[in-house]
Structure 1
């Protein structure tokens, strides 16, 4: 038996646990469903003008209707109560007179006869109401001092005596000739219902004054008010549905043309300049469509004119560049011959020869950049993709800029893992991008360290070049890629430059479906990040490297983030700075007699070689 009892208790405990788990799961499911529904409504509210208008219209109409129905309900309730009270007072006055007349006519004045007569007349009055059964109560008045004959309290229904309040009895004792009326609650069928109590004084022969109370339960009036409330609630539901449908239909008359205008505007933004709105009628929406079409016509005309001017400009730049290429080649050949013989010239002529050679080189670079820009603008630029290690590209760039790094006195630190960072790219264009970024960092780094970071993930590779020089002012990170833009035109440059390097670099990055972004702060330095997809045509997702710089607390020696692996460091203090490159010479050209390449030993660039 004990074992059976334990089994029963264990089963009960398990059943309780299962029940609690089911309740918790149901509660969680309901909460999640309510949360999703609330989010759906919030999202719909934010994105749908029609939904907001319909909801606002329905809510405002419900508020107005609620106020109106509340007023009507109160007026109906007051009317029912006033009408019932008037009838109750009239019936009570008439019934009191009849009872008083019956008592006055009796000739039997003993206690038993008076008790029987009183009961008969009171019981008869109970069923003579025009609006249902009324209850009567006959009790000894507070001012009655007759001791010979005392009649007991008579009530036509047991338990109605508490309906008469002491206050009402006191008022009746003070003014016996005036009816006293009061609304109270009485129990009816297990519920409390309001009732009207009308009190008067009757004189019982030989027994003195007695209080006579008529009690009128207002069940019928309560039923009427309940029916009115149900009707109002049903009317509210029907009204809300009808108002919502009407608001939906009406708002569609306005929202649909607005949506159509939004669709046409998106098509115009996508280059479909022939799209127009249909003009229907002569109302305000028709005026809007007319104005919109006029604006679209003006935009199309301006864009067409600008496209023609742009095409003319591109053609002009391309033609001029090509036409200048042949004479410039001849001038360059002549300048090289003169430059090679400069040692035999007087000092002034020698210096003039060097300046001429440098400016010819710079002019040649400018023509090359203009030709490249014209090919990009014409959509003729193409990529020769191959799978290349990004570190090899950076190593080739470092080999070419070692002379400039020594002259500027800037060390170059490479930060990143030793694993290959391979991706499908055009190595020539990527090398041009990185070379431009490194040269700019050296040019504006003011002799401070330059950091080159590598990064990669499953979808993209990235390289970031960080300098600690003059930095960029607010708004300039977006301007540095503008053609011919210079942050400080008065700033002295060592490598010359055409003002097109970053613009071409940005276009090269876009050709790879990548991105080139800039960040900087005045006096802190700047950071340029190049991000490319590993596989051509696949989305990048996010860049492996951050655009902004780590906080100063996270940076260690030479501006390297603490904990980052260091691949190599170029230290310019280990070698005597070389002379600057020839004026206007190519970036990284240290001039005659300076080393142009730095051999690598075990992955470390040695500046002394």
Structure 2
């Protein structure tokens, strides 16, 4: 007999699904995930290959042993039977074959002397039946092959693996060469299947352990890698908070060490640059302050002289030559402008140096605004919309500077009537100054509080110094307040001043360094080109 293996084996599993994109913001989580995926892929691949190789080895070993014994029994037992055996003879031969070491079930099919088909089964009537043998296997077993030089036998041994009630079986069959019964065998592969299931569980457990080990390894690696990154992030935050002396400890020669060195070099360069800029800024402030102080002495003398000249101009005696009078008036006007500029510069340097302080007092806003307007003879040009009794704890001198700048700016560039209104909020007071002029161009609005900003280059020598609104904003900030500028839908510009009702909590914060009281200043800066 020749052993020829036939049959189809295989499986197909199809799946359709979609994975939602997940965005992982944690580098540690991504590292652990990548390690876990790599470990899972490697473990599953190794386990799958090991399982497949062991499965084939176990099944092939068991199959070869069973088929070898079945073929030997067919030669010894069935080959000794007559060509037309009786049913009893077949039954006895089947029982003898099944009693061998492999313990498989046997079915013998033959024809007796009368031409009747007789059966002999190792399990009796309810044992292994012909219906248990696949039709394809029966057809292959009973098909006579052509005898050639390469094929000496007309009948071959065929086998097939089948499953019955979740139990795997090996079914084989062949015919006795030269005439005689046909034999079929069925061998349960359940012990081998249990061994393979145990192997699969073992490989699954090994895969899970490998996955856990990979996760732990990834955690350790992530900690090693991310610790310098975390230190770098902390150092960067400290650097952003202004602690320019922040440095990283450098150890090793890897890429993270190079990154730490680069950060240290950048921080050192930044610290030097900021120190240089601070020194230049300090020198600039000192220069402006010194210059302003130095100018005050000659300005005092010049102012005294211009006051005398102005009195001569106003005197009835007419002591000034009419030809010289325009020049004298120009000198008087420019001296006043220069005096205002010096006072404003000194005020600005106090704010920049942080030496400006609040001198708080209980202020009735209606009285304060009225006094500001009356002192500058603006009563006929300003409408006041407020009630008496609105009080706030503020610095009255600085509030006067703010009001003088805002109202004077509105009168100069918006024209009368200028409306000033006061409203109370929960913890603050709101003062609005509105004019009825053309409003502020949209491109100028973001710059109205900039120092020396002038919207029109055609009139660089306006009456204002370009510092009034900036000083007003600084005085609002030192109170913890704010000033905003916008255009009214009905026309004209609106400046809104918001101040806290009680600025006492800011007194200590404002008193930094050596303080000095600035002069009153006037409201002569204006919008400068609105």
Aligned equivalent of 1:298 = 272
Per the alignment, in what secondary structure is the counterpart of residue 483 of structure 2?
Answer: strand
Q: Is the 8 A contact 2:402 2:475 kept in 1?
A: yes
In structure 2, C-alpha distance between the alignment counterparts of 1:161 and 1:524, rounded to whole Å: 107
Aligned equivalent of 2:482 = 515
1:209 partnered with 2:178: no
In structure 1, C-alpha distance between the alignment counterparts of 2:430 and 2:395, rounded to whole Å: 15
1:366 partnered with 2:327: no
Aligned equivalent of 2:440 = 471
**Cα RMSD, aligned residues only:** 4.5
Question: Counterparts in 2 of 1:15-414, with a 5 A limit?
Answer: 52-100=26-74, 101-106=76-81, 109-122=85-98, 124-125=99-100, 128-129=101-102, 136=105, 138=107, 148-151=116-119, 165-172=134-141, 177-182=156-161, 184-187=162-165, 192=166, 195=168, 197-202=170-175, 208-217=181-190, 218-256=193-231, 258-259=232-233, 261-262=235-236, 265-266=239-240, 269=242, 284-285=258-259, 287-288=261-262, 291-292=265-266, 294-296=268-270, 298-299=272-273, 301-341=275-315, 344=318, 354-397=329-372, 414=385
Query: What are the superposed Cα offsets for residues 364-409 of structure 1, whole Å, 9 maximum, x if unpaired?
Result: 3223222322333344322221232445444555557785985xxx
Aligned equivalent of 2:8 = none
Q: Which runs of 5+ in 1 are unaligned?
A: 1-40, 47-51, 540-584, 589-609
Aligned equivalent of 1:431 = 400
Query: What are the superposed Cα offsets for residues 452-500 of structure 1, whole Å, 9 maximum, x if unpaired?
Result: 56454433333344567342445x555332321112232599x821111
Q: Is the 8 A contact 1:179 1:200 kept in 2?
A: yes
* Counterpart pick for 1:535 among 481, 502, 512: 502
Q: Which runs of 5+ in 2 are unaligned?
A: 1-21, 145-154, 507-521, 526-530
In structure 2, C-alpha distance between the alignment counterparts of 1:164 and 1:452, rounded to whole Å: 109
Aligned equivalent of 1:498 = 465
In structure 2, C-alpha distance between the alignment counterparts of 1:137 and 1:405, rounded to whole Å: 128
In structure 2, C-alpha distance between the alignment counterparts of 1:448 and 1:102, rounded to whole Å: 132
1:231 and 1:279, CA in 2 relative to 1: closer, same or farther beyond 3 A? closer
1:456 and 1:172, CA in 2 relative to 1: closer, same or farther beyond 3 A? farther
Aligned equivalent of 1:569 = none
In structure 1, C-alpha distance between the alignment counterparts of 2:458 and 2:266, rounded to whole Å: 47
Query: What are the superposed Cα offsets for residues 175-230 of structure 1, whole Å, 9 maximum, x if unpaired?
Result: 76242333x5444xxxx46x353422245999843433334231211210111011
TM-score by length of 2: 0.72
**Residue-pair matches, total:** 468
Q: Is the 8 A contact 1:321 1:370 kept in 2?
A: no
Query: What are the superposed Cα offsets for residues 241-280 of structure 1, whole Å, 9 maximum, x if unpaired?
Result: 1221132023324543x2463265246x25xx65655565
In structure 1, C-alpha distance between the alignment counterparts of 2:68 and 2:283, rounded to whole Å: 107
In structure 2, C-alpha distance between the alignment counterparts of 1:412 and 1:538, rounded to whole Å: 33
Q: Is the 8 A contact 2:174 2:183 kept in 1?
A: yes
In structure 1, C-alpha distance between the alignment counterparts of 2:449 and 2:475, rounded to whole Å: 12
In structure 1, C-alpha distance between the alignment counterparts of 2:322 and 2:47, rounded to whole Å: 112
Per the alignment, in what secondary structure is the counterpart of residue 503 of structure 1?
Answer: helix
Query: What are the superposed Cα offsets for residues 550-607 of structure 1, whole Å, 9 maximum, x if unpaired?
Result: xxxxxxxxxxxxxxxxxxxxxxxxxxxxxxxxxxx9759xxxxxxxxxxxxxxxxxxx
In structure 2, C-alpha distance between the alignment counterparts of 1:537 and 1:325, rounded to whole Å: 36
Task: Select between 515-524 and 420-429 the one with higher mean Cα deviation.
Answer: 515-524
Q: Is the 8 A contact 1:279 1:286 kept in 2?
A: yes
In structure 2, C-alpha distance between the alignment counterparts of 1:58 and 1:366, rounded to whole Å: 66
In structure 2, C-alpha distance between the alignment counterparts of 1:159 and 1:513, rounded to whole Å: 101
Q: Is the 8 A contact 2:67 2:172 kept in 1?
A: no
By percentage of residues, which structure has more helix?
A: 1
Per the alignment, in what secondary structure is the counterpart of residue 151 of structure 1?
Answer: strand
Q: How far has the Cα of 1:240 moved from its partner?
A: 0.6
Q: How far has the Cα of 1:171 moved from its partner?
A: 4.9
Aligned equivalent of 1:561 = none
